[in-house]
Amino acid sequence: MAHTKVARTIPANDAVLKESPSEIKLIFPEVLKITALKLLDGQGKELTLEHDKSLKPIKEKIAFPPSLDAGTYRVIWRGISADGHPIKGQIIFTVSP
């Protein structure tokens, strides 16, 4: 079965933000276990992203990034659907004060 990757994200994919986002939110169309969640800067360096790392099935994931300077960032996530299939995706956003 094919899985819709993500229903909605904050920031939206390709968003250009005037200020650093206070939170990053992923809203899924079905429950899944998030197994990995990373925030990378424009050079591909991983930044701290505070979030609950438990593997309980959820439909919404919230994470808290550090204060981000101007630049382009990537959020990469991986998960496992309720029927055991791996799902992954990413969002890219830009901070441009």
Query: Which of 92, 88, 95 is CA-nearest to residue 39?
Result: 92
**In the complex, minimum distance from the CB of residue 15 to Cu ion, in angstroms, rounded to a whole number:** 29
| Contact call for residues 62 and 21 (beta carbons, < 8 A) | no
Q: Report residue 77 as tokens.
A: 């996530």
Among 85, 86, 88, 96, binds Cu ion (CB under 5 A): 85
Query: Which range, of 5-13, 21-29, 30-38, 80-88, touches Cu ion by CB under 5 A?
Result: 80-88
Q: Taking CB under 5 A as the rule, does residue 14 contact Cu ion?
A: no
Q: With binding defined as CB under 5 A, does residue 1 bind Cu ion? A: yes
* Spatial distance between the Cα atoms of 90 and 44, rounded to a whole number of angstroms: 13
Q: How far is CA 5 from CA 8, 20, 22, 27, 45, in A?
A: 9, 25, 23, 10, 24
Q: Which of 14, 56, 67, 83 binds Cu ion (CB under 5 A)?
A: 83
Q: Does 88 bind Cu ion (CB under 5 A)?
A: no
Report the interface residues with Cu ion, using CB under 5 A: 1, 83, 85
